[in-house]
Structure 1
Amino acid sequence: MARLKLSHQAWSTQTAFILAAIGSAVGLGNLWKFPYITGENGGGAFVLVYLGCIVLIGLPILIAELTLGRSGQASPPQAMAILAQEAKASKSWVFLGVNGVLGGLFILSFYTVIAGWGLSYFFDSLSGQFIAMDADAAGVNFDALVSSSGQLIFWHSVVMIITVWIVSKGVKSGLEKAINLMMPGLFIILAILLGYATTTGAFSESFHFLFDPDFSKLTWNSVLIALGHAFFTLSLGFGTMMVYGSYIPAQYSIVRAALWIVVADTVIALVAGLVIFSIVFGNNLAAGSGPGLLFQTLPIAFGQMSGGWIFGTLFFGMVVLAALSSSISMIEPGISWLEQNWGYSRQKAAWSLGLATWALGLGTVWSFNWLSDMHWIGQRNFFESLDFLTANVMLPLGGLFTALFVGWVWSQTRRNQEIELSNPMQKIFSITIRWVAPILVALVFVANLIQS
């Protein structure tokens, strides 16, 4: 029998909440995906489209998720059950919360595997393995890692254990303490790397690549990629912002917090792009080299450049911090659900979900080696299928139905009381959350399914 109780935990300060939410949003997507999709889609023109999408999709849905969480004061499934009952709407809205919890856990199962690559590379760089590394050696090094299920399981396990240990301590003793160490550390490392980037001789080229728009290189597919990434980079659609919102005291401003999150996430992505492209261009390497940019191209650059040992170690240290700050947010909605609905202690919930998610992650581990030829959805292996299911189905639907509930089902008076916007801004938000954001998310959803 499910137990119903509201969240009694809260962030100690608004700054702690904003840092935690920024930590959730800033992850491998900023340091890994954003630079290479920018490189593949023409640079500055893509950045402009991306920024527009952040404003039209990311910000309104982020405000909507935080608002639902604080208003419901519970885990995503329970919050949606409470708010749907309040709005005299269908009980089926609870599945919006369930979709978020499951989506976060599914993503975490393969995210910790990829984060494990970053942790492995951090120690590789620390030990001097990248010194004088050329392209052939970089390829051999990466292939040796992903082909070894033993190595992948080890690093996957380490990341998962750290993640579970942090969240098992609770909001203030676990999440807040970890974020208060990780986020300043990430900012400091990024600032050091940015300072180095300005000395490479390629900083100007990197700046023009990111900010000089060349619309001749922008395709319709580029627009769809920008739409999708603007949505996913803010941790939308998988319950994190809703459960983080449930810990927000009533006196904190949701809109102010959302603006800080969006600005910080975007600035970090752009600064990371400046750092990465300055290093890449400074070593005469290709900008549009796909996902291999982080794990194959950059090690070559660190191996050839002066001071590469220290800067490579700092860079992959930053990757690890960003990955951990996101991984702890992915498991939190599930922990909240088990605590509030099923009477689990926080420690039991954390370690139970951690073990289950770790076991699911083995499918991703083996997708890179001995199960690479086993297909699940279409011609995709297990990892590709899980990535497709979450990125192309679960998260877009989560964001779409969040916008529809806040825009069309929930009481407008109740929504406005919670968000506390001025009258002109209320109208703009209403139009955006009712029409603009749902249409654009639906566009991404349908287009990705057709392309896939």
Structure 2
Amino acid sequence: MSESTPKSRGKEAGWNSRLGMILAVAGGAVGFGNFLRFPGLAAQYGGGAFMIAYFCSLLLMGIPLAWVEWAVGRRGGALGGHSPSSIFMLVTRSRWWKYVGLLGVAAPLAISFYYLFLESWTLGYAWKMVCGEFAEVTDFKGTFGEFVGVAENGAAFDVSRSSFLWCFLVAFVLNYWLMYRGIGKGIEWFCKWSLPVLLLTSLVIMVRVLTLGTPDAAHPDRSVEQGLGYMWNPNKVVLESRNEEGDWKILQMLPQNDSAVLQVKEAQVAASGGAERIREITISEGLMNPSLWLAAAGQIFWSLSVCFGSVCTYASYVKKKDDIALSALTANSANEVVEVGIAGMMIVPAAVAFLGVAAAAASSTFGLGFEVLPQVFAEMPGGRVFGTLFFGLLFLAAVTSSISLIQPAIAFLEEFWLLRRRQSIVLVGFMAFLGTLAVSWFSKGLVGLDTMDFWVGTLGLYILAFCFIVIFCFKMGLKEGYAELQLGADIDLPFWVMYVAKWVSPMILLAIFLSWLYENVFGTSCPQIENLLNGEPGAYVPLGWAFLVLVFMGMVAWSSRRFHSKVKSLQSRLPIS
């Protein structure tokens, strides 16, 4: 067997068009973060000031980090690498960095384990909407718990109570069939038609939501107008109530210029005996909340999928003189249109219109999507149709994200073991199948999913983000990195953007990371760590399987000789230490 990469591999890997590449990158970012996490955070933090912090984080962290990953990815691709492991090694000129890059291979693959679990939820809920199963439901939280199997480990596999298993098999086959077809015929083809369908469908739902007005005349405070005001107005007058723990929670948003309504509510507050109060929330008060800034910056990090390793892999297939500066900006802009312009304008107003501000603000991320929205669709005229469309488009968005998480591992095996694509897919698919079963089997309290998201989907990705910054700013250098971004660029980037990427973005990222560590790892209570200390199988098994995948990838990287023969051919112009 030849020591060089087979010729056939070069033909099957690559983008057919610039539009397809942009849609694929945008599709990798569009997912649960757009349709579940963002509306949930906007509702929890009262919109307004949160949106200001969100857009500041987008400009100062999200877009600069996206340019960093695109530049590193294309530079590595020009040198012959297509996985984070090989890209890191080639760009830094050090073999040791290939082991650091393993995190960019194993972490996205491990995330895909529980992402497939979540995909199955959306497909199952779309089917339930088609069958009209939510028409008679009164306990939406209990229905969700039964479907995902929170009662006991393995409950999700009980086909007599849950259709999860069939949904998982459909989602799994679809993902790996697309990967089998390759970069152009699989990933690009799917994103070219699925994203326009997703956009059109979501626009239809958004228009329907924005024309709802006030669904229940008995609750004039529950309207689409109130929902839009709650999300976008940084200054609000709200009615709050004190819960059993003594914390104040928003009960209702009040019109600021309607003295008659305010007088009625003031009388209500006076009669409550201190259990309720009217308070004005100002923009300055919101922006002085550190938790709001951390939540907004963290959302940008997840929304754009920056520094996951997936964009780096996609960028490695871009031709050397093709534009990446405008392409990165376009992909991020498309993601923001879906997240802010569609998902936010669709989900938050609908929840407020049907359930009120209190229910919307109190919902968790998954609670808003799988416990609150089914109730909204059940009460909405034509809700069965629009609910089916919503969960169907959420499934499409999830598939475009999950296939981007799988590609780095496939590229890694193609490079370091010179496997053909179908061989790599079989091996990666086998690991993903077992990994997803491990996460979903330990479904009691969703401990398996929570464990993977905590250790891999949060801690691992923070570390990976710092690695990209180090490579771009210190290994490549700002001048070389800037030159890479400007090579073939359709826009001229000002050089000061490089200083933002070197100093401002890392400071924001470090603040998020330290706050996350303080709250979760060094805090007084961390359920994920407690589960490990208590020997909870739902915490150990999924995390252990992810660790075994990382060890396997490390053995592949260490044992490879064929890929290193390819690297030696580069030494004459780019020495590898």
Q: What root-mean-square deviation, in Å, do the aligned CA atoms of Structure 1 and Structure 2 show?
A: 2.2
How far 1:222 sits from its partner (Å)? 1.7
Question: Following the alignment from structure 1 to structure 2, what is the Cα–Cα distance between the partners of residues 331 and 409?
Answer: 27
TM-score for both structures, normalised by structure 2: 0.72
Paired residues of 1:168 and 1:351 also in contact (CA < 8 A):
no
How far 1:426 sits from its partner (Å)? 4.2
How far 1:5 sits from its partner (Å)? 4.7
Question: Following the alignment from structure 1 to structure 2, what is the Cα–Cα distance between the partners of residues 384 and 174?
Answer: 30
Residues 4 and 384 of structure 1: CA distance in aligned 2, closer, same or farther (over 3 Å): farther
Amino acid at match of 2:64: P
Paired residues of 1:105 and 1:334 also in contact (CA < 8 A):
yes
How far 1:282 sits from its partner (Å)? 2.0
Please list, as runs of the form range in 1=range in 2, the aligned pairs for 1:139-158 lying within 5 A after superposition. 139-147=141-149, 148-150=155-157, 151-158=163-170
Question: Following the alignment from structure 1 to structure 2, what is the Cα–Cα distance between the partners of residues 367 and 228?
Answer: 27
Higher helix share: 1
Residues 72 and 284 of structure 1: CA distance in aligned 2, closer, same or farther (over 3 Å): same
Give the unaligned 5+ runs of structure 2.
150-154, 158-162, 214-222, 236-282, 521-577
Aligned partner (choices 222, 225, 242) of residue 292 of structure 2: 222
Residues 13 and 235 of structure 1: CA distance in aligned 2, closer, same or farther (over 3 Å): same
Paired residues of 1:240 and 1:329 also in contact (CA < 8 A):
yes
How far 1:423 sits from its partner (Å)? 12
Question: Following the alignment from structure 1 to structure 2, what is the Cα–Cα distance between the partners of residues 446 and 358?
Answer: 34
Aligned residue number for residue 130 of structure 2: 126
Amino acid at match of 1:31: F
Aligned partner (choices 275, 278, 294) of residue 346 of structure 2: 275
Paired residues of 2:124 and 2:164 also in contact (CA < 8 A):
no
Residues 431 and 422 of structure 1: CA distance in aligned 2, closer, same or farther (over 3 Å): farther
How far 1:2 sits from its partner (Å)? 13
Aligned residue number for residue 241 of structure 1: 311
Question: Following the alignment from structure 2 to structure 1, what is the Cα–Cα distance between the partners of residues 2 and 49?
Answer: 50
How far 1:351 sits from its partner (Å)? 2.4
Q: Which runs of 4+ in 1 moved over 6 A?
A: 1-4, 421-424
Aligned partner (choices 53, 65, 85) of residue 57 of structure 2: 53
How far 1:230 sits from its partner (Å)? 0.7
Paired residues of 1:131 and 1:302 also in contact (CA < 8 A):
no
How far 1:38 sits from its partner (Å)? 1.1
- SS of the aligned residue for 1:394 comes to helix
Question: Following the alignment from structure 2 to structure 1, what is the Cα–Cα distance between the partners of residues 309 and 420?
Answer: 20
Using the TM superposition, name which of 195-204 and 45-54 deviates more: 195-204
Aligned residue number for residue 287 of structure 1: 360
- SS of the aligned residue for 2:101 comes to helix
Aligned residue number for residue 363 of structure 1: 438
Is 1:206 equivalent to 2:227 in the alignment? Answer: yes
Deviation string, structure 1 residues 24-44 (Cα, Å, up to 9, x no partner) = 000011001111111111212
Is 1:392 equivalent to 2:452 in the alignment? Answer: no
Is 1:93 equivalent to 2:97 in the alignment? Answer: yes
Amino acid at match of 2:96: S
Deviation string, structure 1 residues 94-137 (Cα, Å, up to 9, x no partner) = 23421111110111000110111000000000111122543x2x
Residues 423 and 169 of structure 1: CA distance in aligned 2, closer, same or farther (over 3 Å): closer
Using the TM superposition, name which of 275-284 and 30-39 deviates more: 275-284
Aligned partner (choices 64, 80, 84) of residue 76 of structure 1: 84
How far 1:203 sits from its partner (Å)? 3.2
Question: Following the alignment from structure 1 to structure 2, what is the Cα–Cα distance between the partners of residues 437 and 163?
Answer: 33
Question: Following the alignment from structure 2 to structure 1, what is the Cα–Cα distance between the partners of residues 323 and 491?
Answer: 16
- SS of the aligned residue for 1:131 comes to coil
TM-score for both structures, normalised by structure 1: 0.92
Residues 417 and 359 of structure 1: CA distance in aligned 2, closer, same or farther (over 3 Å): same
Question: Following the alignment from structure 1 to structure 2, what is the Cα–Cα distance between the partners of residues 95 and 208?
Answer: 49
Question: Following the alignment from structure 2 to structure 1, what is the Cα–Cα distance between the partners of residues 187 and 452?
Answer: 27
Paired residues of 1:23 and 1:183 also in contact (CA < 8 A):
yes
Amino acid at match of 1:51: F
Paired residues of 2:482 and 2:495 also in contact (CA < 8 A):
no
Aligned partner (choices 186, 200, 205) of residue 188 of structure 1: 200
- SS of the aligned residue for 2:91 comes to helix
Amino acid at match of 1:131: A
Amino acid at match of 1:101: V
Amino acid at match of 1:84: T
Amino acid at match of 2:429: G
